Structure 1
Amino acid sequence: MSNIYSFDVVKNNGEKQALSDYSDKVILIVNTASKCGFTPQYEGLQKLYDKYHEQGLEILAFPCDQFGHQEPGDDKEIAQFCSLNYNVSFPLFKKLEVNGDNASPLFSYLKKNAPGIFGSEGIKWNFTKFLVSKKGDVIKRYAPKTAPEKLENDIKEELEK
């Protein structure tokens, strides 16, 4: 796999989505959860999306229940939560696993191409973020505690390329 465009994923409504449909876009991929201390980051993610979507930013949210059972709902409940509480308009995808034997191939690829601190590939918690260039290359990984607004300069820089 040379970049993320070779992956297909499933939207939270069950529709298949080719990541190649996002070619020439700057993409922020996030594993999310509805009952996490970092859940308010949905607000910051939506602000980034509102501000930069027209310039080519896509934010792709992948709910995950592997950390403290903080995403217990089904895909419909997750979508309702995001809409009602944070007015999320960026794409939500089917709940998946990011670590272990059943990890999503996309997240396995992201972790390999942007390892965490000390080279570890495992995702430590919800709201780990991956920035992807317009060419589909993984640029950077951000820790869960990194607030979305702290990514703004990196996003602007990628959009200007």
Structure 2
Amino acid sequence: MTEFYDLAPLDSKCNPFPFQQFKGKVVLIVNVASRCGFTPQYAELEALYKKYNDKGLVVLGFPCNQFGGQEPGSAEDIAKFCSMNYGITFPILQKIDVNGRNENPVYKFLKSRKAGLLGFRGIKWNFEKFLIDSEGTVLARYPSLTKPMSIEPTIENLLNL
């Protein structure tokens, strides 16, 4: 059976990005898009990352174009957008599918560990969030409407702050 730390998705340059490097850290994973009504959440995700990264928080963005074609760009386009518009410094990985036949193994794992509202396993839209504790357990799943800063108290608790 796969564990969180066994996963190794691809980064934006198609190089393996092993999750083993996050042992002992709290990880927030988000499927992101540049042309979504929730795109301004990038600002709060970056704020959390800057505030808590040195204390053990990692934020990971997975671009996805499955919802309304809201992430059509190349890896370079996405990186440029994130940098210019939101000053993103947290890792933005390879664009993936989060549902369906070509679903990325990371999302297959996350959804198998934490269902959404009413037991729905699929990702409903951009900016769904998964919070993983320092032992690799998928602790919580938050819908797109949940603002990243509202998760801050839980993150602080997990970081023992």
**Offset of residue 112 of structure 1:** 1.2
Residue 24 of structure 1 is matched in structure 2 by 24
- Normalised by the size of structure 2, how large is the TM-score? 0.98
Match of 2:41 in 1: 41
Q: TM-score, normalised by structure 1?
A: 0.98
Letter in 2 for 1:93: L
- Give the number of aligned pairs: 161
Where does 1:102-141 land on structure 2 (aligned, <5 Å)? 102-141=102-141
Please give the alpha-carbon distance, in whole angstroms, between the structure 1 residues aligned to 2:14 and 2:101. 22
Which aligned pairs between 1:11-160 and structure 2 lie closer than 5 A? Answer: 11-160=11-160
What is the distance in 1 between the residues matched to 2:95 and 2:9? 11
Q: Report deviation, 1:13.
A: 1.9
**Structure 1 stretches lacking a partner, 5+ long:** none
1:131 partner amino acid: L
* Residues 69-113 of structure 1: per-residue CA shift (max 9 Å, x gap): 000001110011000000000001000000001100110110110
Q: Structure 2: any 5+ residue segments left out of the alignment?
A: none
Q: Deviations over 1:20-48 (max 9, x none)?
A: 11111000000000000000000000000
